[in-house]
Structure 1
C-alpha cells in the first residue's frame, strides 16, 4: 500500500530544497510504514542514509545535483525520521529487505544505490540479498568488518547515550518527527546494532557482482585499509579516497570547520561511474 503526495498537491513545494519539486509518501513495508521522497526523472537512484540520520541530514546537499539527470528515491529506514518502528532489534538485513519491498511497491524493477555509513552496509546487504534489483552501487564509508574502524569506536558505542549523540542529528530527527521518545528509541537501537555488529563473511562480499564504487574520506571513521580490503574482495569495484572527514564528500557538515564543498567534485565523479557502460 502506497500513499503518495504529488507535486501538484504540494503546489510544487519541495521537501528538502527550494529549487526542485518532490513527491513524498508512505508505503506499507513488511509491517511498518516506510517514508520516502522522489525527485527528478530518469534512471532510478536510491539513497540510503546512515545511522541516526534522516534524508535531509545526509542528502540535502546532493539531491538537487543528482536530480538533474536521475530519478532520486530517498528513503528513511526503520525507526529513523518519519518511518515506523518494530518491537525488535534493528538489522542491516531487515533494512535491505525493507528497501527491496519498497521498490517493489513503487514498481521499480531495478535501480542504482548510494548508501552512506550504516546505509552503505545496508546497500551491501541489498546487493547480497537482492542482486536482481541492483544495477550499480556506491558504498560511502561502508563497514563490513569490525576491524574497519579504530578499536576505541567499539568501547564508545558500548557506553553511547543520547546526550553524546551529535546535536545536528538530534535536531534533524525532531524537525521531521517531534517525538523525543522516538529519538531515544532510534538512538538506542542504532547503538545496540553497532555493539552487536558481526563481520560480513568474505564469501558474501565476494558474491557482490554489481559494479561498485567505494568512497571514504582520508580522515574518515572507516580506515583506508578497510576500504582497500573491500575493493579487493568485490571483483568489479573501484575506490576513491577523498581528502575530508566522514561524509563531507556528500556535503554533510560534521564540524564547524567543514563546508561540504567536496560534493561539488564528488557528485560528478559518482555520476560518471553510474553512467559508464561496462
Structure 2
C-alpha cells in the first residue's frame, strides 16, 4: 500500500470506497457534474483552469482515482471498470442518483465504462481527448509501454504528485498507469452503440487520438455529438502540461460543455 500525505486541500474530503481511501472535492451548486482526471494526473493538474468556471453553474464533484493524488491504492491493478465502480459508489454515498460526467484522457475511458456499467447514474457524458480502440493512436505510442521510461513522465505531474504523496507512491502510480495502457484492448463498436446517454466527444486538432477516430466514436454513440478545438492533448482545457494562461479556448470549451449539458 502507498503511504499518502493525509493533509487534504481545504475543500477536500475522504471516504472509504471499495476498499480504498478516496479523495474528492465538491465546489459550487446546481446539477452535479463529476470531473474525472487522466493518467498520471490529479484534480489540480487537469482541471484547475476550468473547475472554478463549472462551479458557477454546477455542483462539481472532482475525484482522484486509485493510486492518484490523495487517493490510496489497493492490491490490484488499475482498471477503467474499477474506476467507474469507485465513482458510482462515491455518488451512492453522496446520495446523488444521477450526474453528468466529464472525463479527460483516461478519464474519458472511465466515462465509457460508466456509460456501460452504471447507465442508471449517467445523465450525460463528455469525453475529452480519449479513444476507444488501439488504432486511434500510432504504433509508436504503444511501443512506449513495452519498455516504459519514467523520465518521459511530464515533470509537472511528478511535481504535483510529490506535493501530496511520496516518491514511492509516484513510481507506483506510474507503473500501474503503464500496465493499464500496455494491456489496453478497448471496446467494440457494439458496446459504444449500447450507451444511450447523450455523449459529447471533444478533441484537439493536434491531439493524441486523431480527429478522425473521435468522429467515428461520436457517430457510434446513439446520441453522440462532436467538437474539434484548436490545440494539443489537454491544452484546450488549460491542462497543466502545456499551460497558456492567455488562451480563451478553455473558456470556449466550458461554454460548449455547458450548452450541451442544458436540458
Above 0.5 in TM-score? yes
Q: Equivalents in 2 of 1:133, 1:253: separation in Å?
A: 30
Identify the residue that residue 95 of structure 1 maps to in structure 2: 83
What is the total number of aligned residue pairs between the two structures? 256
Give the equivalent residue in structure 1 for 2:46.
58
1:36-71 per-residue CA deviation (whole Å, 9 max, x = no partner) reads 000000000000000000000000000110000100
Pick one of 182, 192, 212 that aligns with 1:195.
182
1:258, distance to aligned residue in structure 2 (A)? 7.8
Q: CA deviation at 1:261?
A: 3.4
- Aligned partner of residue 176 in structure 1, secondary structure: coil
Alpha carbons 2:235, 2:244 under 8 Å: kept: no
Counterparts in 2 of 1:141-180, with a 5 A limit? 141-177=129-165, 179-180=166-167
Pick aligned residue for 1:236 from 223, 232, 243: 223
Does structure 1 retain, via aligned residues, the 8 Å contact 2:238–2:244? no
Structure 1: stretches of 5+ with no match in the other structure = 1-13, 16-21
- C-alpha distance 79-195 of structure 1, shift in aligned 2 (>3 A): same
* 1:154 CA drift (Å): 0.3
Give yes or no for contact 2:204–2:232 (8 Å, CA) kept in 1.
yes
For the 8 Å contact 1:120–1:141, the answer to whether it is kept is: yes
Looking at both structures, which has the greater relative contact order when contacts are Cα pairs under 8 Å and sequence separation is at least 6? 2
Structure 1 distance, partners of 2:243, 2:128, is: 22
Equivalent-residue separation in structure 1 for 2:182 and 2:108 (angstroms): 17
Is the CA contact 2:40–2:157 (under 8 Å) kept in the aligned structure 1? Answer: yes
Structure 2 partner of 1:10: none
Q: Equivalents in 2 of 1:255, 1:271: separation in Å?
A: 24
Secondary structure in 1 aligned to 2:144?
Answer: helix
Judge conservation of contact 1:38–1:74 (CA < 8 Å) in 2: yes
- Structure 1 consecutive aligned stretches of length 4 or more whose deviation exceeds 4 Å: 256-260
Gaps of 5+ in 2: 1-7
| Alpha-carbon contact 1:141-1:247 (below 8 Å) kept | yes
Q: Is 2:23 the partner of 1:35?
A: yes
CA RMSD of aligned residues (A): 1.5
Tell me the TM-score normalised to structure 1 length.
0.89
Tell me by how many angstroms 1:235 deviates. Answer: 1.1
Describe the shift of the 1:259–1:187 C-alpha distance in structure 2 as closer, same or farther (beyond 3 A): farther
* Contact preservation (8 Å) 1:253, 1:260: no
Shift of 1:164: 1.6
1:71 aligns with 2:56: no
**Contact map agreement 1:211 1:237 (CA 8 A) in 2:** yes
Q: 1:253 to 1:29 in 2, by over 3 A?
A: closer
Q: How many angstroms apart in 1 are the aligned matches of 2:168 and 2:54?
A: 34
In the alignment, is residue 261 of structure 1 matched against residue 248 of structure 2? yes
Indicate conservation of the 8 Å contact 2:24/2:61, yes or no: yes
Q: Please say if 1:81 is aligned against 2:69.
A: yes
Secondary structure of the 1:169 match is: helix
Conserved in 2, the CA contact under 8 Å of 1:24 and 1:37? yes
